Structure 1
């Protein structure tokens, strides 16, 4: 990957379909998410994503979410995603996803994904995977990730998955409170943690955690920048200017729309390249 020629690194890109026609979300959740984001359903495969981002001169962190135990939907293969991403090393950075409920088997899978398939980090969605991030039962998995030297990306705040459905399809928002990650960051200081999204309704908490913990970053995915909470914009311009990362939430929110709205945001000129690329290089250990 030629970092110097990239215009941006998108740290939050979902693989919605595999090479066999299997989808990451079931029809009900997929439709609800598309309605929430006001877009048409689009289920890109890894090669689709590579072609799209290559055309944009961007790199993308790609992943699925292992939530089969909670949702009943078959999880897309981490191995397939990583191996396909390896065919496009100029633009794709593969992350894995492990359901913490897998216990020891999940720890072994994480180690194998890093050592044998080149996975560079892991994505967690506490609300969708139905777990508390600071549950001590999950700590052995974090210990393994810390030992492997790979970051952990956590969904935080509100989610479009299940939005508008009765009971939100049983998905609990409180599991994605960023204050739960303060415990994890404190107990695993060698683990890089990326808190995904503006963490509404806990934005101040996310800013506090990222300010206090050197190993914690924030990605700006999942929201058009024109809707960012003002305190997040202030923090990104000042004390968190080296802790905030560009992320889109592709394919539900496309990078071109995100960037268009970001260009209208009052962000200092010297901060823009940090958010769009330079901070991700540091957080992901790419250089």
Structure 2
């Protein structure tokens, strides 16, 4: 079993955003355009050997790029393959908390994802704190991005230190899933994950062969094997491509199972 901890089934308005021009340049135009049927995403999962994917909504200051309603509809179409992750409007903390409660309690969403770089504020901004409290109350993880920002927005909000470290100190019961490995601050990200019991890392936006060496070493360690989750960031990276280099890591059977499946099951309560 393989679970993808970070994916999107993209809408046309999501793919059309000019913030992704840098990603299109890096991938040589591999990122799709236009409206994509759900069967295309499911076929990409099949081709890459991904059994289930957590697909996220995207709420941005300029508007909703992928709505919670759309995610709920897609999960309803493929409930054995897709798992919903909500997104909310950071500018409206209490309506966002109510929205999150509804999605989790009534529709089975398992997490919320908000990207600080999209709002151009650090994740220690006061508007995040009601969400963190709601996540603890609901027993769900808060998912975010760490490291530099590939899209055309500032990278500063992605620093693990001081931001993730501060949040974990203020909310020790909160599970924080830190996507995109934290590069170029991967060593900081690992230090924060070692320090805080409920901070984990997902490898989305990187093919396995491009993972920073320090993260690979951490993944193979006794404590790190329970702290790193496989992710793709589909459609930016297709599942099949994300696995490039997996066998070369020479993970033992337990570590490989935790990385591809077990850690995600535990973190997201699957």
Does TM-score exceed 0.5, indicating one fold? yes
Match among 270, 276, 281 for residue 260 of structure 2: 276
Match among 226, 229, 239 for residue 255 of structure 1: 239
Does 2:228 correspond to 1:244?
A: yes
Give the alignment of 1:212-227 within 5 angstroms.
212-227=195-210
Match among 54, 58, 69 for residue 61 of structure 1: 54
220 and 14 in structure 1: CA distance in 2 versus 1, 3 angstrom threshold: same
Match among 191, 194, 205 for residue 208 of structure 1: 191
Give the drift of 1:48.
3.3
CA distance in 1, matches of 2:243, 2:6: 14
45 and 139 in structure 1: CA distance in 2 versus 1, 3 angstrom threshold: farther
Does 2:137 correspond to 1:147?
A: yes
Q: Classify the secondary structure of the residue corresponding to 2:102.
A: helix
Q: Classify the secondary structure of the residue corresponding to 1:62.
A: strand
Unmatched 5+ stretches in structure 1: 1-6, 163-170
Match among 208, 217, 220 for residue 234 of structure 1: 217
Number of the residue aligned with 1:174 = 156
Number of the residue aligned with 2:182 = 199
Give the drift of 1:64.
2.7
Q: Classify the secondary structure of the residue corresponding to 1:218.
A: strand
Contact 2:141 2:268 in 1 (8 A): yes
Number of the residue aligned with 1:8 = 2
Deviates more, 1:210-219 or 1:99-108: 99-108
Give the drift of 1:73.
4.8
51 and 176 in structure 1: CA distance in 2 versus 1, 3 angstrom threshold: same
Contact 1:36 1:160 in 2 (8 A): no
Give the drift of 1:47.
4.6
Count of residues paired in the alignment:
265
What TM-score do the two structures reach when normalised by structure 1? 0.86
* Coordinate RMSD, CA, aligned: 1.9
CA distance in 1, matches of 2:73, 2:105: 12
Unmatched 5+ stretches in structure 2: none
The Cα offsets for residues 209-257 of structure 1, whole Å up to 9 and x where unpaired, read as: 1111111110011112222221111111003111100001111111111
Match among 17, 26, 31 for residue 36 of structure 1: 26
What TM-score do the two structures reach when normalised by structure 2? 0.91
Q: Classify the secondary structure of the residue corresponding to 1:283.
A: helix
CA distance in 2, matches of 1:151, 1:32: 29
Number of the residue aligned with 1:167 = none
Number of the residue aligned with 1:113 = 103
Give the drift of 1:45.
4.8
CA distance in 2, matches of 1:150, 1:269: 28
